[in-house]
Amino acid sequence: MAVPKRDAAFNQLAEYARKHSNDDNSITTTFGTPVPEKDSSLTVGYHGPVLLQDWFSLDELAHFSRERIPERVVHARGAGAFGYFEVTHDITKYTAATVFAQIGKKTPVGVRFSQVAGELGYADTVRDIRGFALKFYTEDGIWDITGNNQPVFFVRDFVMFPSLIHVMKRNPKTHIRLDYDMFWDFLTLRPETTHTTMIFFSDRGIPDSFRKQHGYGVNTYAFVNAQGKFNYCKFHWLSNQGIGTLTSAEAQKIAGIDPDFHIRDLYNAIANGNFPSWNFYIQIMTPEQAAKSEFDPFDDTKVWPHGQYPLIPVGKIVLNRNPENYFAEVEQIGFDPAHLIPGIEPSPDRMLQGRLFAYGDTQRHRLGPNHIQLPVNCPFHVHNYDRDGRFAIHNQGGAPNYHPNTFNGPVNDKRAQALTPQIPLQGVANRIDSVNEDNFTQARVLYQRVMKPDEKTRLVQNIVSFLVPTTSALRERAIDLFAHVDESLAQRIRDSLKATAIEQHVNL
């Protein structure tokens, strides 16, 4: 079959047909036996009832009814690709993680891009934070960085996460997204959201493709080196395609024409051999620096200023393969901040601490207790004492299923033991609300020193477009919030709201 001149995503089926002939291509049942007739059910006469013995048609219908699994409770919409990570600089003085063992070492990676709040069928170009999750298939097992395209996050305590997501999802009564009253009510009551909200409304709130955005681990982790010395660290991966963004007007137009704009772009780039890449960096903070830091280094609403904690180059990530089976490799991939390897540890970052629990928990619900046995989640032989459960595939070849034992079951790993840091901890158990931490200094730096004049103008327009539909009381609270960032920003929002109201005949 001739393949028409269209892009790779449009031509997927035509390419398949070109490569596969129809000879020796019989339909089979799910258990592999040949099927005589696919397109008619087995009936008694033309109008007769269908026979129960028509197991093939019934089996197909039963499988169809079970095709969908629960979508991710957040980050439901996305796309994935595969490739490798290559070490370009030596960081073994910071970590003994084997993935960084020597310059030139390559490790396979899986990546998933997503948007936080939209559902599976949403349009790609809505304003949102984008997820940017990395899975490293290392020789020590799976290491995941479940990151985003922004360096900071809205809230700093994981208990705030369900409420944050509720206000960005559908109103449970009207089933409408976005409910602007819910949105501004929550944001103005929790001022720690301000820094990320500023980025959300900036140009970076709508990337023009998955390829043209940076990635950040956001949370603070720790590294342990071969001598057992630990340091805190952050992860960054910066796009070699540059940064590309869309204005709200461009994004709205594209959403109406091609809701799969970002998915198509990624697929076509990789299919055409235009492999996207990112340079990978770390920031390092010693425990002594952390103890004296003027900001909380474990607060994910804050960045570590690059002047004080410079980016240290480590390697690069290249994506060079589209998924063969989107469902198996992207819908069923499960990233988990608790997937850490020897040499990389969590930090006291409160948000990260909650995330260590949440991902495995949701994946046991979304994918099942043995999701880790799916090849995309773990292509290795695992040695432990877990057995059975729904869809168990590997049963570890008759090894003992209890520990300790004297029948040569798997034993504790000495190297992992040596790399477990000794961290002295002390304190009084308490629930401490962090709402009155410093919530505005870094947002102010972003507005006053980083944003260019035209970016500030679009920031104001974007904020105003979300403020117009809410109540006057919430508008006042939002203006007050932005006044804590910068008085002139608040004034511009107020002025722009008045002008917009006149234009739209809204009674403010």
120 is an interface residue for ligand HEM by CB under 6 A? no
Catalytic, out of 47, 75, 377, 484:
75
Q: What is the DSSP letter of 238?
A: E
Q: Is 69 among the residues that bind ligand HEM (CB under 6 A)?
A: no
Minimum CB distance to ligand HEM, residue 200 (Å): 13
Instruction: Provide DSSP, 125-176.
Output: TSS--EEEEEEEEETTEEEEEEEESSSS-S-SSGGGHHHHHHHHS--TTT--
Kindly state the helix (H) or strand (E) to which residue 287 belongs, with its residue range. helix 287-292
Alpha-carbon span 474 to 353, nearest angstrom: 32
Of 366 and 456, nearer to ligand HEM (C-beta) is 366
Asked if 213 is part of the footprint of ligand HEM (rule: CB under 6 A), the reply reads: no
Q: Quick check: 358 binds ligand HEM (CB under 6 A)?
A: yes
x/- map, 426-445, ligand HEM, by CB under 6 A: --------------------
Which residue, among 201, 121, 148, 160, has the nearest Cα to 464 in the 3D structure?
201
Choosing from 25, 63, 89, 148, the catalytic residue is: 148
- The binder of ligand HEM chosen from 1, 3, 35, 73 (CB under 6 A): 73
Region binding ligand HEM by CB under 6 A among candidate stretches 2-10, 317-325, 353-361, 454-462 = 353-361
| Among candidate residues 69, 139, 147, the one with its CA nearest the CA of residue 328 | 69
Nearest-10 Cα torsion for 7, 9, 13, 15: 50
131 binds ligand HEM (CB under 6 A): yes
Inter-residue contact 237 to 214 (CB < 8 Å):
yes
Nearest to 262 by CA among 282, 279, 280, 276: 276
Contact by Cβ (8 Å): 282, 234: yes
Give the residue closest to ligand HEM by C-beta.
131
75 is catalytic: yes
Among 41, 252, 320, 362, binds ligand HEM (CB under 6 A): 362
335 is a contact residue toward ligand HEM (CB under 6 A) = yes
Q: Which is nearer to ligand HEM, 133 or 460 (CB)?
A: 133
Taking contact as CB under 6 A, which single stretch among the options 147-155, 229-237, 272-280, 424-432 is the one that binds ligand HEM?
147-155
Give the H/E segment covering residue 441: helix 441-445
- 220 binds ligand HEM per the rule CB under 6 A: no
Total site size for ligand HEM, rule CB under 6 A: 27
Tell me: does residue 75 bind ligand HEM (CB under 6 A): yes
Q: How far apart are the first and last CA of the chain?
A: 62
If one asks whether residue 114 binds ligand HEM (CB under 6 A), the answer comes out as yes
Nearest distance, CB of residue 280 and ligand HEM, angstroms: 16
The separation between CA 92 and the C-alpha centre of its own chain, rounded to angstroms, equals 27
- In the complex, least distance from residue 154 CB atom to ligand HEM, rounded to whole angstroms: 8
- Mask of contacts with ligand HEM, 296-315, x by CB under 6 A? ----x---------------
Phi/psi for 283 (5° steps) reads: -115, 145
Considering the rule CB under 6 A, would residue 235 count as an interface residue with ligand HEM?
no
Closest separation between CB of residue 73 and ligand HEM, Å?
A: 5
The whole-angstrom separation of Cα 229 and Cα 2 is: 61
DSSP 380-432: SPP-SS---STT----GGG--SSSS-SS------HHHHHTS------------
Contacts of 267 by beta carbon, 8 Å cutoff, 6+ apart: 8, 9, 79, 322
447 assigned binding-site residue: no
Q: Which of 246, 351, 376, 497 binds ligand HEM (CB under 6 A)?
A: 351
Active site residue 381: no
Binding residues for heme: 359
Residues that bind ligand HEM (CB under 6 A): 72-75, 78, 112, 114, 131, 133, 146-148, 153, 158, 161, 218, 300, 334-335, 351, 354-355, 358-359, 362-363, 366
Supply the residues annotated as catalytic.
Answer: 75, 148
